[in-house]
Amino acid sequence: MTARTCLVTGAGRGIGGVIAARLSADGHRVALNARGREGLEAVAGTLPGPSLAVPGDVTDPAAVDEVFGAVEREWGPVEVLVLNAGTGVSAPLARTTDEDWQHMLDLNLTAPFRFLRRAVPAMTERGWGRVVVIASVAAKRGAPYISAYAAAKHGVLGLVRSAAAELAGTGVTVNAICPGYVDTPMTGHTVAGIAAKTGRTEEQARAALVRQQPIGRLITTGEVADAVDLCVRSAAITGQGINVDGGAVQS
């Protein structure tokens, strides 16, 4: 592939770090964003190609121009944008606070909107661009105790579909990857939370998550990166929410 300038949010660990490594191995320049510089520099130090650590809180409106500006000064416009930053909260609906609700919207929906809005003009001007949002199977179906998270993820899938329809024919594609439970620190936090609330051991809690995926195991970070790679390479895939969930949601 032609070497492209990439920006990956939430790139300090987990899925984001593995996606950054895949893009770098494919020969691209990769800018990494997360809140903490230390984690970004640790990941950047493992990449085989050019890298740039750009710390910033994606929920801060001012951070959007700061992050893009840093990349543009170094390498020019962002051509591949992977919006991976995100997290979840779990609580019964009646105990989901306004703060929990707003945090889920800010991080999982509003931040991707702002980054996408900032990236699109340069992509359309150049006639080429790839945007990939790491969503969740919670963008496709609801589940108990994740009303705020699922609402935000459903929203970001709607954003992806609308943006893709608007940009069709410009050379810019917009897609979402919808993983099930991935073997990451975020899932480890979920396991610990389930164990603390239910009295089960962490091994029992993890087994309960595994049982939700027909393949009988957690998804690997590399499998999520495979789907991102497909979206970057293909000009014909756009407006999709690609499930990477071991067959849990068939759509």
Return the active site residues: 149
Q: What is the torsional sign of CA 109, 114, 117, 119?
A: negative
> What is the C-alpha to C-alpha distance for residues 193 and 195, in angstroms, rounded to an integer?
5
Beginning with the edge strand found earlier in the chain, give each strand of the sheet holding 129-134 in spatial order: 51-53, 29-33, 5-9, 80-83, 129-134, 172-179, 241-244
> What is the C-alpha to C-alpha distance for residues 59 and 180, in angstroms, rounded to an integer?
24
- Classify burial at 103, counting beta carbons within 10 Å of its beta carbon; exposed 0-12, middle 13-18, buried 19 or more: middle
* Amino acid (one-letter) located at 86: G
CA neighbor of 169 nearest in space, from 129, 133, 131, 115: 129
Q: What is the DSSP letter of 110?
A: I
> What is the C-alpha to C-alpha distance for residues 40 and 77, in angstroms, rounded to an integer?
20
